[in-house]
Amino acid sequence: MLKLGVNIDHVATLREARYRGRGLGEPSPVEAARICVAAGAHGITAHLREDRRHIQDRDVWELREKVATRLNLEMADVPEIVAIALKLRPDVVCLVPERRLEVTTEGGLDVVGHEKSLTETRLKLNDAGIDVSLFIAPDENQIAAAARTGSQFVELHTGRFADEFAAARSRWGETPSSPDFDKVAPADLGGATASTELPRLISGARQAHALGLKVNAGHGLNRENLPALFRVPHLVELNIGHSIVSRAVTVGMEAAVKEMLLLMDNYNG
C-alpha cells in the first residue's frame, strides 16, 4: 500500500503571515495534523527551517507529543537542527538542502559532494533510533552516494516532473494522459522535457530499490499529476503538502486528505 505523508508547513505559513514572532495564532498546524491522521494519513511531515519561516520549535515538540502517527522531520544538515532532532527523536528525518531566498525546497541534496558529513549525521541519527531519508534528484550518482551513506530511505525530488506535467497541460489545454506523458516529444511541449524526467524517476526508483533503499517521493505532487507518477515502481510513501492544504481551503482538510488517499489506491507498485 502506498502511504501518504502530509506536509503541514503551509498551515504554519498562513499562521505566521499574521502572528509571526508572537508565539500564538491560528491556524494550528498541530490541529491540522490531527485532522489529517483522523482522515487516514499515514504520517505527518514538518520542515523546521533555520530561519523558522513557518514551522516553529514549539510546533515540532507539540506534534511529537500530541499526534499519534509517524513524524517525519525535514531539516538541513546543520548542527543546531541536528541537535534538536536528536532530542525530539522523530520517527524519520529527511535531510534536505536549504537556501534562505527560496520559497520552498528547490532542489535535491548534493550527496556526492557532502557524502562524508551526511554519513556522519546519518550515524548520529540512527544511533538515536531515527531513520534517515535523503531528498535527492533521480540522478544515478546521487542515488549511489545515498546508498553509501547507509541511509534507510531516499525521497526522489519530483519538482521537475511536476513542472513538465504542468507545461504539457498548459500546452494541450487539458490533463495529459498518464500512459502517454513520458512519450511526448519535447518540441510538443514548447521546450519542456516531459519525455525525460518520468523515465529518470522510474530508473532512479529501480536503482535505489536494487541498492536496498526504500523509495519515497515528493514535491509538486497533486491530484492531476499523480496518475502519471504511478508508473514509477517501488514507491513506499508520497509526501504531499501544498496541494492538500490548498484543496483544504475549499473542501476542508479531512476531505482533501481522503481525496488524495482514494487516488493513491490506484498505485500498484
Residue 54 sits in a domain of what CATH number?
3.20.20.70
Does residue 21 fall inside a structural domain? yes
- Average pLDDT of span 17-42: 94
The larger pLDDT score, comparing residue 245 to residue 22, is at 245
3-state secondary structure of 237: strand
So what's the pLDDT on residue 103? 47
- Average pLDDT of span 100-119: 80
Spatial separation of the C-alpha atoms in residues 10 and 13, rounded to whole Å: 5
- Residues 205-247 have pLDDT tens digits of 999 999 999 999 999 999 999 999 999 999 999 999 999 999 9
Does residue 269 fall inside a structural domain? no
3-state secondary structure of 93: strand
Count of domains observed in the chain: 1
So what's the pLDDT on residue 30? 97
So what's the pLDDT on residue 173? 58
Q: Partners of 5 in the beta sheet?
A: 43, 239
| HEC assignment per residue over 137-188 | CCCHHHHHHHHHHCCCEEEEECHHHHHHHHHHHHHHCCCCCCCCHHHCCHHH
Question: What positions carry a catalytic annotation?
Answer: 47, 74, 219
Does residue 58 fall inside a structural domain? yes
> Is pLDDT at 75 greater than 60 in this prediction?
yes
Our CA angle for 117, 118, 122, nearest 5°, is 120
Spatial separation of the C-alpha atoms in residues 168 and 104, rounded to whole Å: 23
So what's the pLDDT on residue 218? 98
Residue 127, CB half-sphere, CA atoms under 13 Å: how many?
8
pTM value is 0.90
The residue segments making up the domain with residue 194 are 3-264
- Residues 244-268 have pLDDT tens digits of 999 999 999 999 999 999 999 999 9
* 70-75 vs 43-47, strand pairing mode: parallel
Confidence of residue 23 (pLDDT cuts 50, 70, 90): confident
Does residue 87 fall inside a structural domain? yes
- Residues 147-198 have pLDDT tens digits of 999 999 999 999 999 999 988 877 765 555 554 555 544 434 434 444 589 9
